[in-house]
Amino acid sequence: MATQTDTLSEQFQKTVGDMMANPVGFFAEEWNKGVKRSWNLTRHLMGIDTAETGVTPRDAVWSNAKTVLYRYRNDDVTVREPILLVMSLVSRSFILDLQPGNSFVEHLRDRGFDVFLLDWGVPDEEEAGNGLDLYTDQLIPAAVAEVNRMTGENGVNVFGYCYGGLLSLLYAAAHPDDPINSLLVMATPVDFREMPKAMSGVGRDGIDPRDILDSTGNVPAASIRAGFSLLTPTSDLSTVADFWERLDDDKFLNSYQAMTSWTRDHIPFPGQAMIESTEIFSDGNGFINDDLVVGGRRRHLRDITVPFLNVIAERDHIVPPASTRGLVELVGSEDKNEIELPAGHVGLIVGGGGRKRCMPAMSDWMLSQSTVLED
Amino acid sequence: MTQPAWRQMYNEWEKAVAPSLEQLTASDGFRDVMAVGTQISRSIMAETEKMSRQWLHMWNLPAAGDVRSLRRQIASLDNEVQSLRRSLDAANAAAANAAEEPTLAVVEPIAEAN
């Protein structure tokens, strides 16, 4: 308490000092700040001029029900093998293309890749019966085949993020003859004993997954968001504090709007996939115990033989490093590697650290596995 | 740039409170409470839906659950059709490739000039 009083006292003395030294300048600056804050607050609450997300030009090139395959426009493709980004089932895909200058897709495009994104859409009752096999044995293989066909049959670099990484692993393990050039998974949960307790509450020893399905047969988006909030219960309040503190900073407000539009906008999780995930991973720890039966088909990570990279985020509080470390030992590839990058779950692909260190580390590896075309 | 006093106070409060809250939400007790709460809310929802469905069926009207069930069946059929279409495409492509492969034939040697 003494520390807080001291802080307040120091702040007060500093403010009075500034005011006495240059009263006109002090009040002018405070007035300007006040006007700016009021305007930015109004703008934010009224939804005026809000940050745009996912704006890199792209075309929908294939679809199946709500699943859409996008191809990002790039007139300067210099890498022969394209990249297919496989998104998670719980969040929106625009996190991979957040904002101009802060976009993983843009980074890959600028390095010469032909970039494709597999977006699952927003599930409703039509997707409630989608099991994991639909994603790993039908949709991803069809998307890979389509990307391969469109880009000259050279093989595809598959990139899976978070739960998308888990799907990519299940897919690659069951389809070793598919045209996969390399496989990179990032922040992918593997050892479910190491997952945060607040997230592993669903399962044999806790909540029955069937109890969290809503009337559409899916896990509602609000429950998914609540699950993430439970990991760091004060984070929402801290976000509001950040917002209030830096309300006069236009650049901050723009990034804040883009980021919160993603963190607060989860999508429902298909019910059947949730039930299967709970049985296979939360209860059975299928990757670690080599007990993966999906859609009646047994698969083994050792059957993955393509060049492989596992990317771990050092400060990941959603998929802690311990829950994904060691994956590289389970896959059968000869050319395989595991890297830990100094970032959080999202910081790998967003923000200054992501741009400077993480994105280049991942694209460098994918370039090393691909063929750079001569001019 | 130093943070305003209120923010510094908040940070200190958060530093003190966050670990205990995180511990609480990760505890077995919290999970048990959540499990019971989820079951109760699930059964209330199911009971309410059952009553409204019975009432609507009494008037020969479809309930939302009936429509959802139909949509699910259509989606399942659609997935099956798409899957069959992909298998058919793959089989056709394989057949076309097989037809394009050169067949063995007796080729007479070309007489060398001179």
Instruction: Give residue-wise pLDDT tens across range A164-186.
Output: 999 999 999 999 999 999 999 99
Banded pLDDT at A190 (limits 50, 70, 90)? very high
Confidence at residue B113, expressed as pLDDT on a 0 to 100 scale: 44
Q: Where are the domains of chain B?
A: 20-59, 62-90
Percent of chain B exceeding pLDDT 90 equals: 37
Confidence at residue B63, expressed as pLDDT on a 0 to 100 scale: 92
> Which of A15, A136, A4, A16 is CA-nearest to residue A67?
A136
Best probe of the B interface among A11, A200, A218, A252, by most B CBs < 10 A, is A11
pLDDT, one tens digit per residue, over A334-372 is 999 999 999 999 999 998 889 899 999 999 999 999 999
Q: How many angstroms separate the CA atoms of A284 and A108, rounded?
A: 36
CA distance A24 to chain B (A): 21
This complex has an ipTM of 0.75
Is A207's CB within 8 Å of B34's CB?
yes
- Give the chain B residue nearest A270 (alpha carbons): B72
Which residue in A138, A208, A215 is closest to B65 by CB distance? A215
pTM (2 d.p.)? 0.86
Q: Are A72 and A63 in contact (CB under 8 A)?
A: no
> Which of A146, A218, A194 is CA-nearest to residue A316?
A194
pLDDT, one tens digit per residue, over A220-256 is 999 888 888 888 899 899 999 999 999 988 889 988 9
Q: How far, in whole angstroms, is CA A317 from its chain's centroid? A: 13
Q: How far, in whole angstroms, is CA B114 from its chain's centroid? A: 74
When mean pLDDT is compared across A101-110, A266-275, A315-324, B33-42, the lowest value belongs to B33-42
Mean pLDDT of A252-266: 88
Q: How many angstroms separate the CA atoms of B29 and B27, rounded?
A: 5
Q: Are B4 and B11 in contact (CB under 8 A)?
A: no
Q: How many angstroms separate the CA atoms of A69 and A86, rounded?
A: 10
The C-alpha R_g of chain B, in whole angstroms, comes to: 34
**Average pLDDT, rounded, for chain A:** 91
pLDDT, one tens digit per residue, over A68-120 is 999 999 999 999 999 999 999 989 999 999 999 999 999 999 999 999 999 99
Best probe of the B interface among A29, A63, A126, A252, by most B CBs < 10 A, is A126
Is A245's CB within 8 Å of B21's CB?
no
For A58-368, CATH number out of 3.40.50.300, 3.40.190.10, 3.40.50.1820, 1.10.10.350 equals 3.40.50.1820
Within 10 Å of residue A43's Cβ, how many Cβ atoms?
Answer: 15
Q: DSSP secondary structure string, A141-180? A: HHHHHHHHHHTTSS-EEEEEETHHHHHHHHHHHH-TTS-E
Contacts (Cβ under 8 Å, ≥6 apart) of A102: A255, A258, A350, A351, A354, A355
Within 10 Å of residue A327's Cβ, how many Cβ atoms?
Answer: 23
Q: Are strands A156-161 and A83-86 parallel, antiparallel or unpaired?
A: parallel
Best probe of the A interface among B25, B45, B51, B89, by most A CBs < 10 A, is B25
CA distance B105 to chain A (A): 30
Banded pLDDT at A325 (limits 50, 70, 90)? very high
Q: Is the pLDDT of residue B107 over 70?
A: no
Banded pLDDT at B2 (limits 50, 70, 90)? confident
